[in-house]
Structure 1
Amino acid sequence: MDFKENYSLRKATTADQQDIWKILQQAIERRKQDGSSQWQNGYPNLETVQSDIENNYGYLLEIDGKIAAYAAIIFDIEPAYEEIEGNWLSNEPYVVIHRVAVSNEFAGKGVATHFFEEIEKIAKAQQVFSIKVDTNFDNISMLKILEKLGYTYCGEVYFRGSARKAFEKIICR
C-alpha cells in the first residue's frame, strides 16, 4: 500500500474521541491475540483519550481521509522516565511517544513506522532532537519498529508497578 502521498497528520479533537477509542480497542485486542500483556489491565481507556485531547497530546495519522493511527505526542517531562535502570543517551529536552495504535484496516502496512517518521519531523520543528518511548517486553511489533528506526535500548522504566523497555533516539539537527 502506497499511502505516503495521501496522508495527513493532525491534532485530535473532541469530535475524534470515539474513533480514537475504537482504534485503541482494536489495538488492545491485537496485543491480546499476540500474547502480549500490554494494555490488558484497563489502560488505556476512554478517560486517557479525553485527557490526551484536552492536553493537546493526541495526534492522528489519516490516510485518504480515514483515521489510520493514533498516538500521544508529549513535549513535556515524563515522570516515569526520571528514574531509569540504565542510562538515557542524553539529558536534552525530549518528546515522548505513548499509546501508538493503528486501526485494523491499516495494521501491518507500515503505518506505525511512518507515524514515527512523521513524529521526528514534528520534534525537529519544535527544535527537540531526542525522542523517548517505552514498551512492554512482549510487544514484538513495537520492538521491531523501534529497532528498524534506530532507537537505542537504554534500560527499564516503571509504569504502574511494572517494568517496561525504554528507548531513545537522537535525531539529526
Structure 2
Amino acid sequence: MNSLKVTVRQAKEEELPIVQDILMQTAGWLKSIGSKQWNGILEGKDHHDTPAAIRRGEVYLATVQGKPAGMFVLWDHQSEWDGELWGIDESQDYMYLHRVNIVREFAGQGVASKMLAASLEIAKDKGKKAVRLDCLASNDYLNKFYAGAGFAQVGVAKDHDAGEQTADFNLYEQAV
C-alpha cells in the first residue's frame, strides 16, 4: 500500500492549473458522494487565494513518477478561518494544514499519509511546535485517518458556518 514513491515539494507558479485541476476534481468527487464541502470551488470561489499562496510557497504538490497525485496548503500563520475555529493565537508556534487533496487515481495508496508526514517535516524545519488541522466532525473516514496518522483531537467547533454548510468541525493537532 505505501510502496509508491511520493515526492512532495512546493508548487511552482506555472503549476497553478494543475493545482486548480486537483481542487476541482476533489470538489466534484465530494459533490458526487453527496457532500456540500468545497462546493464553492465548483462555483469558482477561491477563499484560499491559491495563486498568492503558491507565490508565498504555501502550496505543496505531491507527485508519483512526476504525475500529480495530490496537494495541500500549509500556512505558518492563522487564516481568518483558523482564528474562528481555534481562537486567535499570535504565538507563531503552529502551522495550519488545509486542502489536503488526493487525485482519485491515487486514493488509498498511502499518498495522503506521506503528505501529512511531509507537512510535519516542513513545520519541524521551520521551528514550529505542531501542525493543526480541522475536518468535518461528521466525516468518520477523515477523523479516523487523522487520528491514525498521529493527530490528536483537541477540540470541536460546534455549529460553525463554513459557507456551504453549518456543521461541527473537529480540531486536530500533532507535535513535530
Asked whether the equivalents of residues 92 and 130 of structure 1 are also in contact (C-alpha less than 8 Å), the reply is: no
What percent identity do the matched residue pairs reach? Answer: 22
Partner of 1:122: 122
Aligned equivalent of 1:165, options 165, 169, 174 = 169
Partner of 2:14: 15
- SS of match in other structure, 1:144: helix
Stretches of structure 1 lacking an aligned partner (at least 5 in a row)? none
1:106/1:99 Cα in 2 relative to 1: closer, same or farther (>3 Å)?
same
Stretches of structure 2 lacking an aligned partner (at least 5 in a row)? none
- The runs of at least 4 consecutive aligned structure 1 residues that moved more than 4 Å come to 43-47
Q: Single out whichever of 155-164 and 103-112 deviates more from structure 2.
A: 155-164
**Number of equivalent positions:** 167
Q: Within 2, Cα distance between the matches of 1:129 and 1:8?
A: 24
1:17/1:133 Cα in 2 relative to 1: closer, same or farther (>3 Å)?
same
TM-score by length of 1: 0.81
Q: Within 2, Cα distance between the matches of 1:94 and 1:66?
A: 30
Amino acid at match of 1:124: K
1:107/1:49 Cα in 2 relative to 1: closer, same or farther (>3 Å)?
same
State the 1:84 CA deviation: 4.0
State the 1:148 CA deviation: 0.9
Do structure 1's residue 60 and structure 2's residue 61 form an aligned pair?
yes
- SS of match in other structure, 1:41: helix
- SS of match in other structure, 2:116: helix
RMSD of aligned alpha carbons: 2.7
Partner of 1:152: 152
State the 1:12 CA deviation: 0.6
State the 1:115 CA deviation: 0.6
Cα deviation code 1:32-79 (max 9, x no counterpart): 233222112336957532132123211011111111110001111233
Amino acid at match of 1:110: G
Q: Single out whichever of 72-81 and 117-126 deviates more from structure 2.
A: 72-81
Asked whether the equivalents of residues 12 and 60 of structure 1 are also in contact (C-alpha less than 8 Å), the reply is: yes
- SS of match in other structure, 2:40: coil
Q: Within 2, Cα distance between the matches of 1:35 and 1:138?
A: 13
TM-score by length of 2: 0.80
Asked whether the equivalents of residues 133 and 172 of structure 2 are also in contact (C-alpha less than 8 Å), the reply is: yes
